[in-house]
DNA sequence: CTAGTTGCAAAGCATTTGCCTGTGG
DNA sequence: CCACAGGCAAATGCTTTGCAACTAG
């Protein structure tokens, strides 16, 4: 039912190698060398499959299309950083703690998402 | 150059009255009674104008289209809560503090965004 | 073999833009 | 008056889907 094809390997490898969340376009570019001519439909379909299979995790980015990261990155609670200059999203370790003190009366808390913005080392240096 | 029309008043009033960030669709619905037949183009064009004029502020929601809130709500630093059940976004007071401890070596911090998820009082009660 | 996969092109959505009519000042 | 605004519809940009050809197992 889940067949092993070079397109799927290319996409999963791209995610694993990147070490950071990728957009569908970035995945397609990264997969292009391992599987030339790979189509966008395949990229999107494969993303959906990988997410359902738990091998990839969607990373919602405020105001932008979702990115996706390899499941191994999602094993621990973490957040993300987006570079103002190059637009890349990076993983951040840790979490500043509970958000409960921000919650008004009557609301229940299930999860939270934190995004930091600034410059990544490569761009800050330039 | 900025003409006062009933469509623009309807949209600005909708934002002011809502007291929480609205999607373009929600704005159109809310403006419908004050300005029947208002078109989507007008809603989007007006949003853009209001944002440029500083009367409305975009609220980026992870994985979803932007919402917008009235400028008065953005005068102080705050974050947002999204209800899992009804999908509405609410303003939250305060901020749990600095995020600098999450930042790896070499990154610079400009801003941050926090989103909490759970149930709002209306939905949690039901 | 043959059901799962792929590529292409068309279809969907949300948002933007062009164009011509309408109207605020 | 007449330049700014509004409504409609076509155009975008991103993502999904239908379909016929292809291929892994």
Question: Which residue from A minimizes the CA distance to B111?
Answer: A117
Distance of alpha carbon B28 from alpha carbon B37, whole angstroms = 9
State pLDDT tens for residues A65-100. 899 999 999 889 999 999 999 999 999 988 877 788
Burial B17-47 (b: 16+ CB within 10 A, else e): ebebbbbbebbbebbeeebeebeeebbeebb
Interchain contact A94–B (C-beta under 8 A): yes
Q: pLDDT by residue (tens digit) across B38-82?
A: 999 999 999 999 999 999 999 988 888 899 999 999 889 999 999
Q: Is the CB of A104 less than 8 angstroms away from the CB of B93?
A: yes
Question: What's this model's pTM, rounded to 2 decimal places?
Answer: 0.88
CB contact under 8 A, A116 and B103: yes
Choose the mutation target among A99, A117, A119 for the interface with B, i.e. most B CBs under 10 Å.
A99
> By the CB < 8 Å criterion, does B74 face chain A?
no
Extents of the domains making up chain A: 6-74, 77-124
| Answer CATH for A6-74 from 1.10.260.40, 3.30.70.20, 1.20.1250.20, 1.10.10.10 | 1.10.10.10
**For domain B77-124, which CATH number applies: 3.40.50.300, 3.30.1490.190, 1.10.600.10, 3.40.50.2030?**
3.30.1490.190
Instruction: Dump pLDDT digits (tens) for A20-46.
Output: 999 999 999 999 999 999 999 999 999
Q: Which of B69, B60, B81 is nearest to B14 (CA)?
A: B69
pLDDT reading at B29 higher than 80: yes
pLDDT level of residue B31 (50, 70, 90 thresholds): very high
In three state form, how does the secondary structure of chain A look?
Answer: CCCCCHHHHHHHHHHHHHCCCECHHHHHHHHHCCCCCCCHHHHHHHHHHHHHCCCEEEEEEECEEEEEEEHHHHCCCCEEEEECCCCCEEEECCCCCCCHHHCCCCCEEEEEEEEEEEECHHHHHC
């Amino acid at each position: 039912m889940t067949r092993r094809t070079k397109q799927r390997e290319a996409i999963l490898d791209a995610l694993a190698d990147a070490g950071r969340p990728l957009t569908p376009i970035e995945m397609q570019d990264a997969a292009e060398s391992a599987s030339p001519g790979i189509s966008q439909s395949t990229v999107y379909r494969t993303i959906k499959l990988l997410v359902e299979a738990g091998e990839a995790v969607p990373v919602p980015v405020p105001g932008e299309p979702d990115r996706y990261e390899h499941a191994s990155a999602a094993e621990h609670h973490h957040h993300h950083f987006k570079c103002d200059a190059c637009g890349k999203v990076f993983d951040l370790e840790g979490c500043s703690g509970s958000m409960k003190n921000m919650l008004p009366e009557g609301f229940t808390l299930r999860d939270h998402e934190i995004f930091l913005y600034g410059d990544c080392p490569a761009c800050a240096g330039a």
